[in-house]
Chains A and B, each alone.
Chain A
Amino acid sequence: MSTSAQIRDVTFTVPERWYRLERQSLIAGVAGAILCIIAAIVSPEHFLRGYLVAYMDWLALTLGSLAIICLIHVTTAQWGFAVRRILEAAARNISLLTLLFIPIAVGMTRLYPWAHPGADRDFLTHLQRPYLNPGMWILRAVLYFATWNISAWALSRWSWLQDSPPDHAYRRRFQNFAAAAIVMWGWTMTFASVDWMMSLDNHWRSTIYGFYVMAGQGLSGFAFVIIAAVLLWRYRPISEYLTITHLHDMGKLMFAFLILWAYQAFSQGLIYWAANLKDEVNWYVNRTTGGWWWVGIAIILLHFFVPFFLLLSQDLKRDTGKLIVLAAWMLVMRWVDLYWLIIPNFPDTKGHFTISWSALAATIGIGGLWIYAFLVNLKAHPLVPRHDPMIYRVIEAQEHGH
């Protein structure tokens, strides 16, 4: 009974449907891009706001995936074996998002109040100048993207080395690098969330904001990987290595990130509500009046309470059909939450609910390109790392039915 004989077929034949999906997503991407261009011509301000929502939404999937890869390596998690390549393909989309950041950088002066000409007349902006100035902002963005690109590509490249023997050379390297990468993600994403989202209203600040955005990214990442894993489950080699227990574990982790996200949202809300300081509660006033109230209520109920009670059920986490619907729902609600965070920052939308069509167009546009790039990335390499030693543990667990 030798171990090598037990390793099941890892070859993957790209199904016809894959190409169809590639075509469709590319079409969606191009159509979205055309709509975005029209929107940008009609009203650059409104286009940029919507674009930022869409951008942060897809960035969450990308960086969430990166963080989950690190989590898998640091904890040597079994459930991660069969889905790691999916996550790696998603994380490498950071290169695409680096390019797609250009409109935000170009439109900086239209989006951010501190970047407006003459913003220095505001005393607070004047005080914040050493940090909030266009040069530093661009420099920091370069650093963030460099960090994320290096992390995603390094983890992918070492992973590809595992397509051929030897079996156990990379474990420690992965572990050390992933631990450092997760710390780097924490720092870069914190300041990126300040730069790109929080500073849309530079009179407001919250120390938990970075954690809050990152918890949302983790949640998006798990929702995405659950969807991708369930869809790929009918094909080899995912079908050989992914078990319902793994899916159950991912469901639990999605649940954990949902709770973490809600915990941070609640903590910030309670602390600001109790202190009731003008500088701080304004942020909530802007988001709970003039129609935004209903968005807030929807987030509390549909983003937290309903999924929370559903995810308590073990049966639901082990039912692929239901879990994938819930994961898709989580992605929709992540978008709503980002919309609620970003849009009410602007003078004409503070306390005044509006539907931003450009946000929808940009979400479809970036999303189409993102999914297209993801599919191309994913099929370029085998779907499981054949020589990752974890393969033995996965097989052993399957044979003994835990």
Chain B
Amino acid sequence: MRLPRFGWLPILVGVFTFLIGFALAWFVYPWLNNSDWVIYLVGLLALLLVGVGYTLNFLIQGYTHGVKQITEETKVIIRANPAHRVSVAGPTDVKKLAETINIFAGRFQDALDNQATQIQQARADLEEEKNRLAALMSELTEGVLVCNIEGQILLYNNRAKQLLSQLPGGFWGDKIGGFVGLGRSIFGLIDRNAITQALEDLAYRREKQRSPLVSQFVTTATNGQLIRTRVAPIPAQQHGINGFVLTLEDVTQQSQSSRRRDILLQALTEGVRSSLANIRSAIETIEQFPQMDAAKVGQLRKVIYDEALTLSARLNQITAEYDTDLRADWQLEEMLGSDLLWAIQRRFEDKLEVSTAVAEPEENLWLRVDSYSIVQAATYIMRRLKVDFGVTEVKLRLKQTGQLAAFDLVWDNGKVDMDTLWSWQNQSLTTDGGGSALTLREVAERHGGEVWCQADKTINIAYFRLLLPTTQAKPIRSVQIVQSSRPEYYDFDLFHQAGQTPEMDQRPLSELTYTVFDTETTGLNPSEGDEIISISAVRVVNGRLLRQDIFDQLVDPKRPLSLASTEIHGISSEMLAGQPTIEQVLPLFYRFTEGTVLVGHNAAFDMRLLQIKESKTGIKFTNPVLDTLLLSAVLYPNQKDHSLETIAQRLGVNIIGRHTSLGDAILTGEIYLKLVSLLAEQSILTLQDARSAAQKTYLARLNY
């Protein structure tokens, strides 16, 4: 065993003391008698013991204290700060231990860092995958929903939501549909039996190894749309299925148009058959009886003429009707004319390096087009113009004439040969590798349009013109709401909502599903007739604010708005005219909030508004309610200001888009999520914890 630093000193002292004592004993021995000798030895031994004790104490101090310190510091490394290092001091062995632990801590820190980097990387990868999937899904013209085996929606795209949610027309119907949202049940939207049957059908196909593993059915949405739903299973790793994917397509128009075509076809065949029969029998009669008298011949001729007229009329009618039905079959989307021009311009400039000017088209000029094939067609023309004739500068223009829109690709006419241009119409578009087998003319015809090229020699230009049918202009609405803060409102008891079940009360706040909502009103006194003019809400599922899962509706209050209130929220009477009434909106909002905890800022005010409408609408909001104002007061009892802005600033939540009621709902949701994690630090974990803490604060504030 090696001694610690200075460890030899007490031993040296001991040995030195012993030697001095021994030497002294040697000198004084002659004067001592026998008994004194014993006393002297005892004294010397005592002196030796003191020396040894001092040495032992020094050693124990150095080791045990050092080890205790190392233990504490190691705990710091493990629990709090992996970058912390144990201080190297004390006896050599303790120092060795400290050094070893420090080496270990270094490795530990590296491992942690490494792990963190890996997690970050994996997260980034996952996020990218997610974004890619989201982008992919959002581009699809079909609605896509992914559900688990219980029918809970795990993933959906906008098209699915659009197809299944209440459309604006739904407000006026008496049936109320469900809402699409994460964690919501698909069975609220699509008949459970239909899906079950499809899944059984799939299980059967799987067993018989039939392909494709897709089953389909057509359902009617609450607004009368026909939706074709395809069901595909998500196989589990072992056996059976984990869930299913639904793809939805609106076939209302398709089926209507094919039904109408059936009727037309029938009308055509039957009508033509009888007219032709009449004509044929008349002509054959004339042929067979050459001596027929003139009056009879005249009669039969009239038959032929009349029947021919009937056939003409019928054909004209069918041409007119069939034309629109034929077009409905192709996947056309409504597109703003200027957007189409912009897409083509970008393509010309990026891909073909052609300088492209765009003449501003008329506002609100909507087209029904397959933008891809139109852009492809334009690109084809442009590429050939550039390659064959060296055209590097063009102008795009779009003009409306009646029901038609003329899209022109114009260039200065140099030595361009019209016969060549004309021949392009019948060649297939094989631009940029993945070309289509369609010709320019076919693209035009599929849009119910025509294409041709023309030269205007007077001003020396030439142009390709694509004539397309237009569609009704779409109204564009944007709502800007500016809101001032409300006074705190206590006129409603948040703490005794009927829908609070003991089971729900025991669940952790982080696991519950919330509807965070906000309203705009005509004024601040619901009891004196102030009405809701806008309700907005956003859902929080699994601790995530779902910005896509929103409710946002203006409401006609059926009473005039004061100018003062318009100044506050920016909603004018004109914006509310024609909006549904609160009696129409509340049932929908009720469906939206079903099974969730309501969260609002100063929620008592909003709840009071809903409560007042109870008798009129028969709709009772019994959901548990949490108030971000009260929860903020729980966390910061000494602060007086708990307005939305102040809390947001205190908690470091970005205040963006705070000028709409939807913006406020989203802000409240973000604040709520921060509050939940802060409440957890104070051991406020369940719904019940939060409610009772809020209630105490509420009473405290009342007293205050």
> A and B from one assembly?
no
| Residues in A lying within 8 Å of B, measured CB to CB | none
| Residues in B lying within 8 Å of A, measured CB to CB | none
